[in-house]
Amino acid sequence: MKTIKALFVTLLLVLGTFALPASAGDKDPLFINLTADDPHRANMAITFGANQFGRGHPLTIFLNDKGVLIGARANTSRYAEHQKNLAELTSKGATVLVCPMCMKQYGVAEGDLLPGIRIGSPEVTGAALFRDGTKTLTW
């Protein structure tokens, strides 16, 4: 009986550990991996990030896969609002990085990037992604 009781208590402790909600500190960084070129999904990601940035969370938006198209001036007609919001965020200190391999894949030249957008690298992107306490989301 003692063995069953001990196993039951252990099981409750283990399950309780997994059931605890993840919590963010007041100033934990947010890393958004934006892979979508769909205007609605991209707007959701940028708006969510802007709201958290406004609450004091350092923000990095990583334009990845088709998300690189949002950061190209050639696509301003489709992403005018998104680009305005990204420019505002970078002017206030948020970081917007773009995947160089994806740029090549989708024909986005460095000179076509919006001002304030930086080309990522393993060092730059990794530093933002693996900063202590960072929370991540993907769209």
CA dihedral 34, 67, 114, 48 (to 10 degrees): -30
Topology of domain 24-138, CATH? Hypothetical Protein Ychn; Chain: A, (3.40.1260)
Give every CB contact of residue 50 below 8 A, 6+ residues apart in sequence: 59, 85, 88, 89, 94
Of the pLDDT bands very low, low, confident and very high (cuts 50, 70, 90), residue 89 is very high
Q: Structure pTM?
A: 0.82
Cβ atoms of 95 and 118 within 8 Å: the answer is yes
Q: Looking at residue 25, what is its pLDDT?
A: 72
pLDDT beyond 90 at 73: yes
pLDDT beyond 80 at 21: no
Distance of alpha carbon 40 from its chain centroid, rounded?
16
Please give the mean pLDDT across all residues of the chain.
90
Where along the chain do its domains lie?
24-138
Q: Which residue has the higher pLDDT, 93 or 15?
A: 93
Q: Which of 32, 67, 80 is nearest to 52 (CA)?
A: 32
